[in-house]
Homo-oligomer: A and B are copies of this chain.
Amino acid sequence: MASDRFHVYDTTLRDGAQQEGLTLTVADKLAIARHLDGLGVGFIEGGWPGAIPKDTEFFRRARTELDLKHAQLAAFGATRRAGVQAADDPLVAALRESGAPVVTLVAKSHDRHVELALRTTLAENLAMIRDTVSHLRAEGQRVFLDAEHFFDGYKSNPAYALEVIRTAAEAGASVIALCDTNGGMLPDELGEVVHHAVSLGARIGIHCHDDTGCAVANTLAAVRAGSTHVQGCANGYGERSGNANLFTVVANLQLKRGYDLVPSLAELTRIAHAITEVTNVTPDSHAPYVGMSAFAHKAGLHASAIKVDPNLYQHIDPAHVGNGMRMLVSDMAGRASVELKGRELGYDLGPEHARTLVDRVKDLEAKGFTFEAADASFELLLRDTIHGERRHFEVESWRVTVERTRYGEVVSEATVKLEAKGERIVATGEGNGPVNALDKAVRLGLEKLYPELAKLELVDYRVRILEGEHGTDAITRVLITSSDDSGEWATVGVAENIIEASWYALEQAVSYALVRGCYEYQ
């Protein structure tokens, strides 16, 4: 069980799920909860049982299907309706019956919201808080209070906002989390308000949104002002610009402020990505700490100094969060970064090969290639430099046709003629586009010789038109990401003709699959 001294409280399953386009099934929620528990957060807010049937189901299944090591589940809900007893409110009953050890009650703390949204009196709102908190406490649950719109409320009527804190604390709420619901605060002002709230003596939590790009900093400002409970979401999911990214908050506090919050910080990058697999939201490669690019370096200038001391160029050792430094090969690349990249890939380039490779990279990048996003093309180029060009198949010719018939149907068909292991191969594929058709034709042709290709999948395809320099025609750059059960790799092709560029990227994607598969060269 996580320590109670400082709460890491995750609300991905409730507030994070408000993100546009994000929909979680009960199974998704259970899977995310397991990941969060693996990281070691203290609390996982599972949803609103009683109000949302899927969330009622989540808490029901959690009893038998979730075996949490660190975290406790929290059920989210509202204070009782105006004019009834908490004991008689069916939504409050659903919170009791959820079986969650913690209930987090949302309550209004902004006077105008009480009047306009809740349509009750300020006094009745306080009574609702008092009554609901003490009822649930008496029934044996721990209660946290989310003071909604607290900061805007404090600006509108500070005495009332503070009265909400006092009322909840007196009724037995063990944390009052101040919510910057509309996300408009900046850290300096927010810190001052939290400071006032903390001085009341209640335990204060913080819940921020990223509408000013300051959710993480606002959370840190609240902690500095005395808050000992931080709320946030995995990967910063949430409505509008998202909630505070709990992973960034935890990494900052643990690595830079000496807090001991989660036992498995070195799993952070893996867990952050595993959760994106569940949510099906494309991972943000620029996310602090856990993004693919978070420790990637492009500038050739720095590479020689990085060799001397990598810590001169990174704010933490990426291993602390399970990430790693990556060197990108770009037109600013020098020999040092190419050698480093070679080593990262497991090749020992001598100085002469390194020089040749740098020249080839610069030459190709001048023609529009980009290797920083095409690791596999770079590795093939590196292997060609060391070993000479060797391929598992030779291309004789290919042809693609895309046709719209008079009936409005669009069909794509490709034929490739290849040679491999002494055999001449002619294969035809149909697809939902020209590249898909080419891909199918190549794999159909080669699969009987190289059965591993059956697992190859083209997972991403990107096109960029590069402006021609000095009156030449524009050129097309295609980046293809492929995968099989051993991982993902990217290749690049450049040509005036978009199909030709796609072909090159595709040919390399297949060649690289065969290199990875450790097939003998023909």
Contact = CB atoms under 8 A, between A and B. Distances in A.
Given A252-B212, A372-B20, A404-B399, A314 B182 contact: yes
B217 A186 contact: yes
Most buried by B among A395, A464, A480, A495: A464
Contacts of A21: 329, 370, 372-373
Interface string A294-308: 111111001011001
B471 A116 contact: no
Nearest to A329: B20
A460 B473 CA distance: 9
A210 B287 CA distance: 9
Contact of A432 (B398, B460, B473): B473
A18 B299 contact: yes
A315 interface: yes
Contacts of A403: 397-400
Contact of A463 (B292, B431, B481, B498): B498
A434 B497 contact: yes
A454 interface: no
Contacts of A18: 298-299
Interface stretch (A5-13, A123-131, A167-175, A241-249): A241-249
A410 interface: yes
Contacts of A283: none
A434 B328 CA distance: 33
B313 A182 contact: yes
Contacts of A329: 20-21
Contact of A241 (B288, B373, B457): B288
Contacts of A186: 217, 220, 252, 256-257
Contacts of A463: 463-465, 498
Interface string A195-233: 000000000000000111111111011001000000000
Contacts of A495: 410
Contact of A20 (B298, B410, B458): B298
Interface string A487-522: 000000001111110010000000000000000000
Contacts of A236: 286
A291 interface: yes
A172 to B, nearest CB: 26
Given A210-B288, A211-B315, A433-B500, 19 more contacts: A18-B299, A20-B329, A52-B332, A188-B221, A212-B248, A213-B245, A240-B286, A240-B291, A240-B295, A241-B294, A280-B464, A397-B403, A400-B401, A402-B434, A402-B499, A432-B496, A433-B476, A436-B471, A459-B471
A406 interface: yes
Most buried by B among A21, A302, A473: A21
A481 B466 CA distance: 14
A475 B415 CA distance: 23
A362 to B, nearest CB: 11
A484 interface: no
A183 interface: yes
Q: How many copies does the complex hold?
A: 2
Given A212-B216, A405-B397, A461-B471, A20 B285 contact: yes
A275 to B, nearest CB: 15
A379 interface: no
A464 B245 CA distance: 24
Contacts of A480: 471
Contacts of A188: 220-221, 224
Contacts of A239: 293, 296-299
Nearest to A209: B315
A449 interface: no
A416 B298 CA distance: 46
A448 interface: no
A364 interface: no
A442 to B, nearest CB: 13
A304 B211 contact: no
A113 B187 CA distance: 32
Contacts of A182: 313-315
A148 to B, nearest CB: 10
